[in-house]
Amino acid sequence: MRTAHRPTPLGRVSLCADRGPDHDGNVGRVWIIRTAVVLCVLLAGSGCAHARGGEAARVLTTASASGPCTWQRESGNPNARYLGTPPPTGGDHLGVHTMTITTNLGAITVRLDPADAPCTVASFAYLAGRKFFDGTRCHRLVTSGIYVLQCGDPSGTGAGGPGYTYPDENLSGTLGTYPAGTVAMANAGPNTNGTPFGNVTVGLDLVRTVAGGGTDNGSDGHPKVPVAIQSMTVR
């Protein structure tokens, strides 16, 4: 999973994982990086600094998105699964939402707040509503360095996506380290956003189970404990 990778595309879910709580005990904080639909749920104070092939993750700061969301059609990716684009307004930017990721191991619940990244939440809700993630597997586990479990690519290759991008939201200029429970997106370059942010409220134990099982290729490979997304909802 980590050999000669192309940049991480939109439309893939990842869960960053390790073996214990972060140094600050800050479990369940959710941030967004750029690009793929990537949920980085850290179990230790590590960075999702490179979610794939050397792409640097960036810690989000205060919300700054305003106005309608702009969705740019992506071309040239044979692994993309295009299901249209969200409304130009980005949908409902108000109120807190709950995202439920049902897997073969159980459910992971995430609290989403559109005030932090309205277009990101709108994109994720749109894709979940069209069953983009249903039936996808977690195809990559990294148990050192970035501690990430990547899931949700319909192509199962790590190179898939929804076939559109949108401008970055709420990125600082400094690379950061993520606390336990972080949910984030991998980076494939500027203006290639694609997913949500909020707080993980249930399910970190499931990620620990997968991480504890190790991979089929040292510290970076397919997880030995099979995990797949059966369904995903945002309400």
- Quick one: pLDDT at residue 213? 95
**Is the predicted pLDDT of residue 178 greater than 70, yes or no?**
no
- Quick one: pLDDT at residue 82? 93
- Quick one: pLDDT at residue 9? 37
Q: In this predicted model, which residue has the larger pLDDT, 82 or 178?
A: 82
pLDDT in tens, 195-233: 435 567 898 888 889 989 999 999 999 999 999 999 999
Q: In this predicted model, which residue has the larger pLDDT, 130 or 145?
A: 130
Task: Residue 190: give the domain boundaries.
Answer: 1-60+72-235
Q: Is residue 65 part of a domain?
A: no
Rg (CA), the chain: 15
**What's the CATH number where 191 sits?**
2.40.100.10
Task: Domain count for the chain, please give it.
Answer: 1
Q: Is residue 67 part of a domain?
A: no
Buried b vs exposed e over 50-87: b needs ≥16 C-beta within 10 Å?
bbbbebebbbbeeeebeeebebeebeebebbbebebbe
The fraction of the chain above a pLDDT of 70, given in percent, is 56
At 129, is the pLDDT very low, low, confident or very high (cuts 50, 70, 90)? very high
Choose the weakest-confidence range: 58-62, 89-93, 173-177: 58-62
Q: Is residue 66 part of a domain?
A: no
Q: Is residue 150 part of a domain?
A: yes
Mean pLDDT of 64-83: 80
Highest mean pLDDT among 20-29, 98-107, 177-186: 98-107
Mean pLDDT of 95-120: 86
Q: Is residue 43 part of a domain?
A: yes
**Is the predicted pLDDT of residue 20 greater than 90, yes or no?**
no
**Is the predicted pLDDT of residue 111 greater than 60, yes or no?**
yes
Q: Is residue 93 part of a domain?
A: yes
Q: Is residue 196 part of a domain?
A: yes
Q: Is residue 183 part of a domain?
A: yes
At 138, is the pLDDT very low, low, confident or very high (cuts 50, 70, 90)? confident
**What's the whole-number average pLDDT of the chain?**
69
Q: Which residue has the tokens 């992506």?
A: 74
